[in-house]
Amino acid sequence: MNEIRVFSPATVSNVACGFDVLGFPLDSVGDEMVVRKTKAKGISISKIEGFDLPFDIYKNVASVSAMSLLEVAKPDFGFEIEIYKKIKPGSGIGSSGASASGSVYAINELLGRPFNKLELTEFAMKGEFIASKSEHADNIAPAIFGGFCLVKNLHPLNVLQLPTPTDLYAIILHPQIEIKTSESRKILPKMVPLSDVTKQLSDLGGLVHGLHTGNYNLIKSSLNDHIIEEYRSKLIPHFDIIKSKVLEAGALGCSISGSGPSIFALSKGNDLATEIELVFKSIYSKSNINFSTYISKISSSGVVTI
């Protein structure tokens, strides 16, 4: 095989109570990438469509991730990457994570799968660092592993896959404004009250147990952010009213996806998901901000060949 086309999913990270450690991929929105072998060694980017991204291989997260893999694999040929970008950079739904994950997955397939998913995650994290100025895997891991993923440790990397209840749906509101992860981290406090940490840990444990047992009531009572949301929500227009109305409509939970501006909600069943999407639309249609909405199941596979 000399060429491959892959779908790399958008992801929701943090998931309210799991700042920097929890995430899940969407199956209805993501990037596509074509990667092919070349006689010349190294990495090149031949095409980018959708959004304006750098062709400079040292500034593009897809190529930086790929080069990290090649430093270990050392093949006697190279790879050319085409990026069909459908996730807007700075969206809060894992745009950089999708690029990084897609490139390493594709190259690994063309090499005959010498690396496991944990190793691919480590390679992709090198690219993610270019975008966010920090090493984190809560977008990368779910994009590569699929399903809910808990990043138990970064060094050495340890990723735990969590079960996903079959009737769980994600609803995404993406305001068409940009919030850079590196900038949104600067507004976070350096210290937080111990009581808030205790609440957050309790909710994270409750959410993990709720996912394992399929207990939707426990999932609902656990989807709270006691540490981050208070600060980042100020950057997102109409966040407070949206969250209030979505919870009134019956959502299991609602919070910021990643560093924003996207907002996610979870629901039991597609019918309720459709109602929640209508709430998103009704509020933002009254503003002067362009927006997109998505309804998605949680992807069980992550990056896939198409």
Burial of 112 (0-12, 13-18, 19+ CB in 10 A): exposed
**Run of H or E including 29:** strand 22-38
The sheet with strand 291-297 has its strands ordered as 253-256, 263-268, 168-175, 291-297
SS3 annotation, 58-124: CCCHHHHHHHHHHHHHCCCCEEEEEEECCCCCCCCCCHHHHHHHHHHHHHHHHCCCCCCHHHHHHHH
Catalytic residue among 128, 183, 229, 248: 128
Question: Three-state DSSP class for 215?
Answer: coil
The 3-state DSSP class for residue 250 equals: coil
Is the Cβ–Cβ distance between 149 and 11 less than 8 Å? no
Asked if 305 is an active-site residue, the reply is no
* 86/80 Cα distance (integer angstroms): 19
**DSSP string for residues in 261-274:** S-EEEEEESHHHHH
Asked about 181 being catalytic, the answer comes back as yes
Catalytic residue among 11, 121, 181, 277: 181
Return the closest-CA partner of residue 200 out of 225, 175, 173, 171: 225
Q: How far apart are CA 70 and CA 242, in angstroms?
A: 45
∠ CA 285-290-296, nearest 5°, is: 85
User: Cα(272)–Cα(160) distance, rounded to whole angstroms?
Assistant: 29
The catalytic site residues sit at 128, 181
